A and B are shown apart, each in its own frame.
Chain A
Amino acid sequence: MASLLHQIQHHSVTIPASLPLDSGQSLPSVTIAYQSYGALNAAKSNAVLICHALTGDQYVASDHPATGKPGWWARMVGPGKPIDTDRFHVICANVLGSCMGSSGPATPDAATGAPLGMAFPVITIADMVRAQAMLLDHLGIARLHAVVGGSMGGMQALAWAAAYPDRLASAVVIASAARHSAQNIAFHEVGRQAIMADPDWQDGQYYASARAPTKGLAVARMAAHITYLSEAGLTEKFGRRLQARDIKSFGFDADFQVESYLRHQGLAFTDRFDANAYLYITRAMDYFDLADPHDGRLSGAFGAAKDVRFTLVSFDTDWLYPTAESRRIVQALHAVGAAASFVELSAPFGHDSFLLDVPALDRIMAGALGTGW
Chain B
Amino acid sequence: MTTLRPDLEIIADAIPGRTRVLDIGCGDGALMAELRAHKYIDARGLEIDAAAIEAAMAQGLSVVQGDANRDLADYPGDAFDYAILSQTLQTTRRPDRVVDELLRIAPRAFVSFPNFAHWRIRLALLWGGRMPVTRLLPVAWYETPNIHHVTVSDFRDLVRDKGIKVERAWYLSGDKPTSAAAASWRAEHAIFLIGRA
Contact = CB atoms under 8 A, between A and B. Distances in A.
B57 interface: yes
Nearest 8 A/B pairs, CB to CB: A367-B58, A339-B62, A363-B58, A373-B59, A343-B53, A342-B64, A331-B74, A372-B58
A341 B74 contact: no
Given A339-B62, A367-B60, A330 B74 contact: yes
A367 B55 CA distance: 9
Nearest to A337: B79
B124 interface: no
A309 to B, nearest CB: 7
Interface string B58-85: 1111111110000000111001000000
A346 interface: yes
B62 A373 contact: no
B54 A363 contact: yes
A119 interface: no
Interface residues of A toward B: which range?
20 to 34
Interface string B163-197: 00000000000000000000000000000000000
B161 to A, nearest CB: 29
Interface in B27-68: 42, 44, 50, 53-54, 56-66
B65 A342 contact: yes
A334 interface: yes
Most buried by A among B42, B64, B75: B64
A367 B59 contact: yes
A346 B49 CA distance: 12
Interface string B85-127: 0000000000000000000000000000000000000000000
B63 A344 contact: no
Interface of B: 42, 44, 50, 53-54, 56-66, 74-76, 79
A344 B62 contact: no
B52 to A, nearest CB: 9
Contacts of B79: 334, 337
18 contacts: A311-B57, A330-B74, A331-B74, A334-B64, A334-B76, A335-B76, A339-B42, A341-B53, A341-B57, A345-B50, A346-B50, A363-B58, A367-B57, A367-B61, A368-B60, A372-B58, A373-B59, A373-B60
Most buried by A among B44, B50, B58: B58
B98 to A, nearest CB: 17
Contacts of A340: 44, 62, 64
Given A341-B61, A367-B57, 6 more contacts: A334-B74, A335-B76, A337-B79, A341-B62, A367-B58, A373-B60
Contacts of A330: 64, 66, 74
Q: Is the interface of B mostly helix, strand, loop or mixed?
A: mixed
B156 to A, nearest CB: 31
A265 B53 CA distance: 36
Contacts of B65: 342-344
Interface string A332-365: 0011010111111110000000000000100110
Contacts of A337: 76, 79
A15 interface: no
A372 B54 contact: no
Contacts of B74: 330-331, 334-335
A339 B53 CA distance: 15
Contact of B50 (A331, A343, A366, A373): A343
Interface in A289-324: 309, 311
B54 A360 contact: yes
Nearest to A373: B59
Contacts of A239: none
A341 B64 CA distance: 5
A368 B79 CA distance: 23
A341 B58 contact: no
Nearest to B42: A339
Contacts of A344: 50, 65
Contacts of B54: 343, 345, 360, 363-364
Given A334-B75, A342-B64, A368 B50 contact: no
A162 B76 CA distance: 20
Nearest to A170: B60
A343 B75 contact: no
A341 B57 CA distance: 7
Contacts of A28: none
Given A330-B74, A331-B74, A334-B76, A343 B62 contact: no
A34 to B, nearest CB: 28
Interface in A129-182: none
